[in-house]
Chain A
Amino acid sequence: GAVVSQHPSRVICKSGTSVKIECRSLDFQATTMFWYRQFPKQSLMLMATSNEGSKATYEQGVEKDKFLINHASLTLSTLTVTSAHPEDSSFYICSAHTRDIYGYTFGSGTRLTVV
């Protein structure tokens, strides 16, 4: 089946630094990638949708300059949390979609802690 590899699975960083999260589709081409954030005991909140080769579409209230998304190829999308602050600590997860495969495949998530 379709697999999305997400790295790192866990990261601790200092306040003010930037963190890059990668999602790779291993055996299919992901035309669209969704990025989510999930706080404890809350649902997944869609942050942005990216299509390969074009700019990401951000949800209302999500700062595009803080959460940089790059979807440069059909197998790789990255989310960079810039100038991270403790309130950015959360579970970040990607989901890939391709027209060739029905449904959506999730990465295993990244637990970010900003200290």
Chain B
Amino acid sequence: RKEVEQDPGPFNVPEGATVAFNCTYSNSASQSFFWYRQDCRKEPKLLMSVYSSGNEDGRFTAQLNRASQYISLLIRDSKLSDSATYLCVVNDMRFGAGTRLTVKP
């Protein structure tokens, strides 16, 4: 089993839609969790950290479920500029395979 697994995607949604990604991890002792965004042929950029109590940043909400060992990212009112690959990261910078999101007009 991979250490970090993500929804396969791709997700193609219309503007304004709400979309959610999940990411499961295998190491129950994992302590740190992040969501990164990667645009085509660019380096990943930190989108947000994931805290135990859940956290929100504008249209983005991240949550952690330790019991089921997964983290989630919710994007509300999606914009065209949200089109990218979203990567979850657990612990020592181990990345999930990424979920590609395309937001269409």
Tell me whether A104 and B49 are in contact (CB under 8 A): no
Chain B residues near A103 (CB, 8 Å)? 34, 46, 49
Q: Kindly state the interface size class of chain B when it binds its partner.
A: 10 to 19
- Residue A77 is within 8 A (CB to CB) of chain B in the complex: no
B94 in contact with A42 (CB, 8 Å): no
A107 to B44, CA, bound (A): 9
**A111 surroundings in chain B (CB, below 8 A):** 41
Further 8 A-B residue pairs, CB within 8 A, beyond A44-B95, A106-B43? A43-B95, A45-B95, A46-B93, A46-B94, A49-B92, A97-B93, A102-B49, A108-B42
Q: A-contacting residues of B (Cβ < 8 Å)?
A: 34, 41-46, 49, 87, 92-98
A-B contact pairs, 27 of them (CB 8 A): A34-B92, A34-B93, A42-B97, A43-B96, A43-B97, A44-B87, A44-B95, A45-B95, A46-B92, A46-B93, A46-B95, A49-B92, A49-B93, A91-B41, A93-B43, A95-B93, A97-B93, A102-B49, A103-B34, A103-B46, A104-B46, A106-B44, A106-B45, A107-B43, A108-B43, A109-B42, A109-B43
